[in-house]
Chains A and B, each alone.
Chain A
Amino acid sequence: MAKGWLKAALGIFFAGAVCLSAAAQDLTVGLGANVTSIDPHFHNLSPNSSVAAHIFDRLIHQDEKQRLVPGLATEWKAIDATTWEFKLRQGVKFHDGSEFTAEDVVATLKRVPWVPNSPSSFSIYTRAITETIVVDPHTIRFKTKEPYPLLPVDLSTINIVSRKHEQSPTGDFNGGKAAIGTGPFRFVEYVPGDRIVLTRNNDYWGDKPHWQKVTLKLITNGAARVNALLAGDVQIIDQVPTVDIAKLKTNADINLSRIVSNRLIYLHVDSFRDQSPFVTDKAGAVLPNNPLKDRRVRLAISKAINRQAIVERIMDGEAIPAGGLLPEGFFGASPKLKAEPFDPEGAKKLLTEAGYPNGFGLTLHGPNDRYPNDEKIIQAIGPMLSRVGIDTKVVSLPWATFASQSSAPTYAFSLMLVGWGSGTGEVSSPLRSLIATVGPGRGASNRGRYSNPKVDSLLQEALNTVDDEKREKLLQEASEVAMADQAIIPLHYQVNVWATRKGLSYTPRADEYTLAHFVRPAS
């Protein structure tokens, strides 16, 4: 009898131990952003790409600091000004067992612009390619019309799908039938708005992930995400709310990992219109001459802002005061660009010089649900500007309203807070979209319609220079010219923060991706 009990107890014990070891291979991740599809070419949206990076590979990968590293291509070079040659990795297999060859790359490049109803297509990254030539199954060449140095970085955003699924609609990817990649995980299940389940690809060509089964749970509410981590329901979360960081730091069960991101928070200034709708005299009548067209006034606004205080008090230290377009270390970021020091007296002096000794009236607009603490930041900047004489009203709007009102063709605002994440990790990205004169392919997000021919020509030259060293110099110069002219007023670079349960570590990434294969037991 006693023996029977002992046996049963041991049995339960071992069953429990087996369960535990199985559980140790499982990872549950709490993601803060919504994923709209498994189709890697349907919606050019960072959370979607982050999930796709588990199932698919790209020709070139970006490492945690967004430098280019070999992916499905082992090497790439420009063989002449308009031709790039890529050598493809040998012996790579798709999840369905078929071999990866140049034909899959061709099929992928055909599929990208084809995807029906795409709300934001990846074709902006493949458009430069005018011709694709398969030299042999593991060598491929891309022709461009003009010298196009951004081709490798553009291709580092394109997930390679199997040639069998060139014509598969988005629904087939969401259902799993076409979600066949070469990546470190295989697709198991996608429940929209709830979770994505993955299992390890044991035939992966690169470092095999530690986890047998991964569940990516979509928990968009910040407090709920932190609670899920504290309760142990998830082992890692991204986008840790800044208010919770101090509390988590003191919690012995939690590890934090952080890295400065590619996202700049800045003020866009209407330096285009002669009369800007929200630039008024102190009584509220629109000024006949827009003072924001004057560089000295823009500099005065920059000097009036206490960036250090915003970073410390509002961002809880999880940001870095900014003076350029991307933090140091990113391609084309100029080390000469430092954050403008807080100098209210200097600001007043500049305003007097510009002919506004008593200041003027201004409304600062910003979103209230888009960037960490966005509303609080503009509420802090309002009084800072008022103190130097610019009577500032602050209006915050939901992103849905703000985004559509602040852009083309409405351009409804005069001074506004916006953020910019450089998906390519290059200064050419903000230069091209935010600062270049509005025109075909340029200035699509230039909400202030800033225009400077010198910046435009430097940028154009950089975008036609294949030599990396020369191009970086040109980009640095272009951003120095733009920032000296106060094209935009940078505030800070965000810091990306992940929190894991004790015993796990995550390699933090500048591009905000949360990748299960980079979650590892802490050594």
Chain B
Amino acid sequence: MTVFIIRRVMQSILVLFVMSLLVFVGVYAIGNPVEIFVAADADQAERARVIAALGLDKPLWEQYLLFIRNAVMGDLGKSFVFNQPALGLILQRMPATLELAFTAMVIALALGIPLGMYAGFRPQSRIAKAIMAGSILGFSLPTFWVGLMLIMVFAVELGWLPSTGRGATAEVFGIETSLATWDGLSHVLLPALNLALFKLSLVIRLTRAGMRENMLMDYVKFARAKGLTMRRVVFVHVLKNIMIPIVTVVGLELGSVIAFAVVTETVFAWPGMGKLIIDSINNLDRPVIVAYMLITVTMFIVINLVVDVLYSVLDPRVRLADMKG
């Protein structure tokens, strides 16, 4: 296990290094960011001053080496347009995105697993067919449109829930979260639902497929023959077996929900990281883009590691030491 983790960490450092180089060169290739955030009526002298002040007058390799040197010491640079440390800027927005992502994941799992199990258990029933039809909608409707529709129905027409933004926050165990207040919960519900829809459909389909496959297995028949109740067979033995693919997919999806909740955050004006990265790309705010990518990659690495460890817990046949990282 230890060897496995050490090997993973070494690989991760290499990935991070390559990633930073790619983003750095990529953003540089787009062009001179000063044109974007300098005031239109600034003259050439002012433009030259900005370029020098932000260190953009140095050759690319020098800028990159400077970045690496600071990054090793934990400083990912200052945002061009906010004049705040890029890392701090992202971490400041992270709680909002995390609470949105976790709420969405909880909705997706809490609804998706039971619905998928039912659909797999009684595949011919009308309810099962309705669930599957619904999941197709969840897959195929664009998030953007669904978000706007949710706002139109629940905020504009019915007026039950607020249309945009994050609600009041309160401190729980030292973390500022809007999940601790009614106002906050009412704000998070619509965007979380919007974000959850796709994942929900995914979980339903995965669960159903696993359910149908496992119900035909010998161990189920054997368990029934042994006299176990159907309830125990399904909720203990089958459930455990179908969890492995779900954990894999949910793990990866959690990463993508956190990193790329951009559309939902935009539609609901949710002050999270997704909105920040879009604004930063539009501004060619390189320090923020690079820092964001590094954080995202780190997050995926950690989640993959956790998923691998979870495997070995769920399925004793898997041994981490045998895995090639």
Contacts and interface: CB of A to CB of B under 8 A. Distances in A.
A119 B92 contact: no
B45 interface: yes
A423 interface: yes
Interface in A120-134: 120-121, 123-124
Given A192-B82, A410-B31, A404 B42 contact: no
B279 A193 contact: yes
B38 A119 contact: yes
B53 interface: yes
Interface string A440-467: 1110110000000000000000000000
A232 B161 CA distance: 11
Interface string B158-178: 010011111000000000000
B271 A191 contact: yes
B152 interface: yes
A400 B282 contact: yes
A117 interface: yes
Contact of A398 (B39, B166, B282): B282
Nearest to A434: B40
Q: Which of A121, A170, A405 has the most CB of B within 10 A?
A: A121
Interface stretch (A19-27, A35-43, A509-517): A35-43
Contacts of B47: 444
Given A194-B166, A224-B268, A401-B31, A231 B42 contact: no
A453 B162 CA distance: 59
A398 B30 CA distance: 10
B301 interface: no
Contact of B80 (A119, A224, A230, A421): A119
Contacts of A225: 269
B35 A124 contact: no
B155 interface: yes
Given A220-B279, A224-B267, A231-B156, A43 B42 contact: no
A231 B159 contact: yes
Contact of A37 (B34, B83, B155): B83
Given A36-B82, A224-B268, A231 B162 contact: yes
A423 B41 contact: yes
Contacts of A55: none
A350 B49 CA distance: 44
B36 interface: yes
Interface string A213-225: 0000111110111
A420 interface: yes
B46 A221 contact: no
Contacts of A119: 34, 37-38, 50, 54, 80-81, 83
Nearest to B32: A404
A150 to B, nearest CB: 11
Interface string B31-74: 11111111111111111011001100000000000000000000
Contacts of B266: 220-221, 224
A398 B280 CA distance: 13
A410 B41 CA distance: 19
B94 to A, nearest CB: 12
Given A117-B54, A369-B282, A420 B81 contact: no
A210 B134 CA distance: 50
B283 interface: yes
A151 interface: no
Given A34-B279, A217-B165, A404-B33, A227 B148 contact: yes
Interface string B78-109: 10111110000100110000000000000000
A420 B40 CA distance: 8
Contacts of A120: 37-39, 42, 46, 50
A233 B164 contact: yes
Nearest to B31: A404
A407 interface: yes
Given A221-B266, A224-B267, A233-B155, A440 B43 contact: yes
B267 A223 contact: yes
A171 interface: yes
B50 A121 contact: yes
A197 interface: no
A191 B166 CA distance: 11
A116 B50 CA distance: 10
B306 interface: no
A231 B53 contact: no
Nearest to A420: B40
Nearest to B269: A219
A44 interface: yes
A14 interface: no
A433 interface: yes
A483 interface: no
B252 to A, nearest CB: 27
B170 to A, nearest CB: 15
A429 interface: yes
Contacts of A170: 83
Interface string B209-246: 00000000000000000000000000000000000000
A399 B43 contact: no
Contacts of A44: 38-39, 42
Given A119-B34, A224-B163, A228-B164, 7 more contacts: A30-B164, A117-B80, A120-B37, A231-B155, A369-B282, A398-B282, A403-B36
Interface of B: 30-47, 49-50, 53-54, 78, 80-84, 89, 92-93, 148, 151-152, 155-156, 159, 162-166, 266-269, 271, 275-276, 279, 281-284
Among all A-B residue pairs, the 5 with the closest Cβ atoms: A404-B31, A194-B271, A44-B39, A231-B163, A231-B155
